[in-house]
C-alpha cells in the first residue's frame, strides 16, 4: 500500500532486490581475493547495506559513519558534519563506501578524501541511487544502483526529517509535504 504522502512509487521492492544482487555480484568480482571494509553511511544507507552485503561473497568487515550536509532541509548546506566516525582504522583497507543516494556529491567527496588521507589502500563508492542533475562537485562513483531524476525521494532508508525510512519501496514525496520548509 502506498503512503498518503507519497505521489508515486519510483523503485518497487522487486527492483530493489535486483539492484542489490547486481551490485553485490559486481563488487564480489572486482574484489575477488581481497577483504573489504564496507563503510555504511548512516542513517539512510543501513537498509540498502543490509540487503547489499547478503550478495557480496568476498570477506568483508562492516563499519559505520554518520555524516550530513542536510539537517532537516531538502537542500545540501555544503557543510559536512561527521556525527559518528568509523571504529576501525582505514589504513591499508580496501574500503567501499555504501550510500543510499548521492545528490550534490559534497558529503561523499569529503568522506572519500578523508579515507584516502587516513591511508586506505583503495576507496570506492557504491550508491543505491544517484541524482547526477544535482551534482555540485564531481565524485567518482564506481557502483550505481539506479540514476534518478530531481525528485524528492523517500523510503527504503531515505527520509524527510527522519520520517518515511521504513517504507519498503522508494517513492516520490508529494511537494506539499516539504513545501513548508
Check if 138 is active-site.
no
Taking the C-alpha atoms of residue 30 and residue 87, their distance in angstroms, rounded to an integer, is 25
pLDDT in tens, 131-175: 999 899 989 999 999 999 999 999 999 999 999 999 999 999 999
Place of cell 544482487: 21
Q: What fold characterizes domain 11-151?
A: Rossmann fold (3.40.50)
How is the chain split into domains, by residue range? 11-151
The reported pTM is: 0.90
Mean pLDDT of the chain: 92
Among 103, 138, 140, 150, which one carries the catalytic annotation?
103
Amino acid at each position: 500500500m502506498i503512503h498518503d504522502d507519497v505521489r508515486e512509487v519510483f523503485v518497487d521492492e522487486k527492483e530493489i532486490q535486483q539492484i542489490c544482487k547486481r551490485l553485490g555480484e559486481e563488487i564480489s568480482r572486482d574484489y575477488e581475493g581481497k577483504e573489504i571494509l564496507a563503510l555504511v553511511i548512516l542513517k539512510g544507507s543501513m537498509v540498502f547495506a543490509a540487503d547489499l552485503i547478503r550478495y557480496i561473497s568476498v570477506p568483508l568487515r562492516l563499519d559505520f559513519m554518520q555524516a550530513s550536509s542536510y539537517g532537516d532541509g531538502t537542500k545540501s548546506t555544503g557543510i559536512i558534519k561527521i556525527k559518528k566516525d568509523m571504529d576501525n582504522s582505514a589504513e591499508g583497507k580496501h574500503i567501499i563506501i555504501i550510500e543510499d543516494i548521492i545528490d550534490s556529491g559534497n558529503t561523499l567527496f569529503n568522506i572519500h578524501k578523508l579515507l584516502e588521507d587516513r591511508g586506505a589502500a583503495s576507496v570506492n563508492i557504491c550508491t543505491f541511487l544517484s541524482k547526477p542533475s544535482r551534482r555540485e562537485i564531481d565524485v567518482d562513483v564506481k557502483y550505481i544502483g539506479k540514476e534518478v531524476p530531481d525528485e524528492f525521494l523517500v523510503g527504503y532508508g531515505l527520509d524527510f526529517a527522519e520520517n518515511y525510512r521504513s517504507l519498503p519501496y522508494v517513492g516520490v514525496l508529494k511537494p506539499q509535504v516539504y513545501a513548508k520548509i
